Each structure stands twice: as C-alpha cells, then as structure tokens.
Amino acid sequence: MTRTDGRAAPTTLPEGVVSLADHERHSAKWLDAAVQAYFNGGAADEITLRANIAAWQRIELLPRVMRRLEGGHTRVELLGRTLVHPMLVAPMAYQQLAHPQGEQATALAAATLGAGLVLSTQATTLLEDVARLVLPEPLRGPLWFQLYLLPDRDFMRELIHRVEAAGFEALVLTVDAPVQGARDRERRAGFRRAGEFSAVNLAGRRAPKPLPLQPGQSALFDDLLTHAPTWDDLGWLRSITHLPILLKGVVHPDDGREAVAHGAAGLIVSNHGGRTLDTMPATAALLPPMVQAVQGAVPVLVDGGIRRGTDVLKAVALGASAVLVGRPVLHGLANAGAVGVAHVLRLLRDELEIAMALSGCRTLADAPGALAPDGR
C-alpha cells in the first residue's frame, strides 16, 4: 500500500507519540504543505481556530477527594442508545489525502474503540462500504451521515434512501457553511485537491446552472446563496426520511430554539473548526448558552478544539451530551492508518477516565461538580 507520492503508507505508530499534540507534529512528515494547510488551517487570521483550543484550556477543574469510585464508567445515553464513552469522530472530507485507506481506516478504528462516526458527504469512500465495516462491531458508537443541502432534490432523495438502506442511524445537516470561509493559509499553500480523490457519494448530482447576473449584482448573493438552506428546507428534509436529523453549526441560542421548534433531533455547537467565519467565539463559550436555551428538549453536542480527556470532561460538565473530534483523527490517520486513529481515540478515552478519577467523578453525571467556581 503506497501513497500518491510513492512512499509506503505507514501502519505503525511513530516512537514518542503519547499525546494528540505529538500526533499533529509527526503527521507533518506524511502530509505535504498544501494538504497540511487544508487539514489544519482556518479562516482568515485563524483567531477562532486558536480560540477553540485555548478556551478549553482556560476552564479549570476543582477536584473532590475521598470519594468512592469503584464501578465508575464513561457511559452516556444519546438518542436512545447507550455509548461506552461520549466521543464521536467528526465529519471530515477527503480522508484519502491523509492515508490511502482513508475513511475505511477511520471507520474500523472508531467502531473498535466504541466511538461514534459521522461520515462526511465528501467522503472518498462509498457510504455502503463504511457501513459494512462499522455495523458488525458490537460495542460501536452511533453511525451518522453528514449532509450539505444540495439544490438537486431528486439526487438528495436518492442519497438519503441509500443512507437509510445502508443502516445509518441519523443525519447531520451542516447549516453554517452556505459558502466557504476565506482560508488564507490554504490559498497561500496553493492547495488543490488531487483528481484521483473525489467525493464518491456525490457522483451523478446535477450542479445548478449559474444565474444570469445584471450589472452590479453579486455572484455570491444573487446566484450561489439562492440555494442556501432555510428552515423550510429542514421541513422538506424531515418529510423524506424517517431518520432523526441533527443540525451542525447552530451557535445562537435563538437558532437553537428555532431548531427545536422545527423538529431537529439534536444540535451540534460548532464553528466549523474555525474554517468559516473568523472571530466567532470558541465553542466552549458557545456551549452553555445553547444548553440553557434548549432546556433539555434535545441533546446538545459540541466540537472544536478537543485535544485532551480533560476537555471532554469539561464539555460534559458544561452540558454536552457528547463531543466530536476532528483534526486529531486526521493526524492519527496520517501517522499510522487505522492504528493511528485508534491510538488517538484511546488516548482521549484513557485521559477522560484519569481526569474523572482525579476529579472525584465516578460517572459523567458527576462532571458538573468538577468545574471550579468561575473557572471559565
């Protein structure tokens, strides 16, 4: 098995990798500069990208001691299922850019480690192939499919029917990226997706014809954004599927309440990893107001900047039902394929258990008590 640059694809962990930060550093050996810019970069000045990590680090834990901890566990309930731990792999496109096994390696590792998997619409592996790898694993987490709402409604119906038939358990509609952010790092590096890597699950879709523009009109506002998703589109999507639909990228409390009113089954507080609108608040800051807004009507998940097990504990303490992990999975994938992804997820699971034990949390229901007063 070789990479596109002719080098043998790695399948064993590099020496000295004991943290997610180590994985990121070592992945630079395998990812060329342009692909690194695509995976690791953010929008504009990357203020939000940096803030996501820093915000979790600023939150402080205040341990309790002398508590009975035997029989503790990391289990949580989510959409009618019991998860062995509250971690899912976030949807990420074109994973074969990181490793020839791409989404197949990620799926195998996630299923084996009990992590949920959210497969990207822009995956480089057929959704049916991913489902066949994940579903037989008895301790697997949830298997969800991420969507962008496409103008070709006939294609959308067909795609969703494929998703349902393959055994996916929910849809994740990304709502925060009607256009791509201004990714300066990516453009400086000259990133261009290699032709051999395509979004195979989007084959056959019809691209909308460009609208004729009058002098002074905007190609963005008067053409592209005429297809941007609206609340009415969520109603249409619910009418053609029996699967629960979570909305990813809802950050304003009013939008959270609107999503519940329109039948969303869950919310993922996300700023797209800092890749869309720069200077947005960090997701750690956005999470508590969203939890307060929906008042338990639907589960609230969060992504962005999760790099330690302590971050997972803090997210649950602030009201998240689970977290999604993105870039670190790609780093592990680049370093050692499925073995690397499994190592990333295992590190987070181990660190979460250690953080719980040292904070006096027998289960994650105890997590709120681990936060320091005014520790944010």
d(CA 40, CA 330): 9
d(CA 328, CA 26): 11
Query: Which pLDDT score is estimated for 220?
Result: 65
Query: Which pLDDT score is estimated for 36?
Result: 96
- Is 262 one of the catalytic residues? no
Query: Which residues are CB-contacts of 114 (< 8 A; sequence separation ≥ 6)?
Result: 83, 84, 85, 139, 140, 141, 349
Torsion region of 318: left, alpha or beta (phi above 0 gives left; psi -120 to 50 gives alpha) = alpha
DSSP 66: S
Query: Which pLDDT score is estimated for 341?
Result: 98
**CA–centroid distance for 100 within its chain:** 21
Beta strand residue intervals within 39-108, DSSP E: 76-78, 81-83, 87-89
Query: Which pLDDT score is estimated for 204?
Result: 83
Burial state string for 305-314 with b = 16 or more CB within 10 A and e = fewer than 16: bbbbbbbbbb
What residues does 267 pair with on adjacent strands? 247, 300
Catalytic residue among 23, 272, 331, 343: 272
Q: How many CA atoms lie within 13 A of 31 on its CB side?
A: 30
Query: Which pLDDT score is estimated for 3?
Result: 72
* Nearest CA-CA partner of 118 in 320, 289, 322, 350: 322
Query: Which pLDDT score is estimated for 323?
Result: 98
Query: Which pLDDT score is estimated for 239?
Result: 97
DSSP 274: G
Query: Which pLDDT score is estimated for 197?
Result: 78
Which tokens sit at 163?
A: 């998703």
**CA–centroid distance for 9 within its chain:** 25
pLDDT in tens, the chain (376 residues): 777 677 788 889 999 999 999 999 999 999 999 999 999 999 999 999 999 999 999 999 999 999 999 999 999 999 999 999 999 999 999 999 999 999 999 999 999 999 999 999 999 999 999 999 999 999 999 999 999 998 899 999 999 999 999 999 999 999 998 888 889 999 999 998 766 678 999 998 877 777 777 787 776 676 566 677 899 999 999 999 999 999 999 999 999 999 999 999 999 999 999 999 999 999 999 999 999 999 999 999 999 999 999 999 999 999 999 999 999 999 999 999 999 999 999 999 999 999 999 999 999 999 999 999 975 5
| Domains in the chain with CATH codes | 20-59+67-193+229-369 (3.20.20.70)
pLDDT for 210-221, tens place per residue?
777 778 777 667
Q: What is the largest CA-CA distance in the chain?
A: 73
* Residue 24, CA distances (Å) to 2, 310, 363, 370 in order: 21, 18, 30, 29
* Nearest CA-CA partner of 344 in 326, 362, 360: 326
* Nearest CA-CA partner of 301 in 358, 230, 248: 248
Beta strand residue intervals within 211-311, DSSP E: 245-248, 266-269, 300-303
Query: Which pLDDT score is estimated for 179?
Result: 80
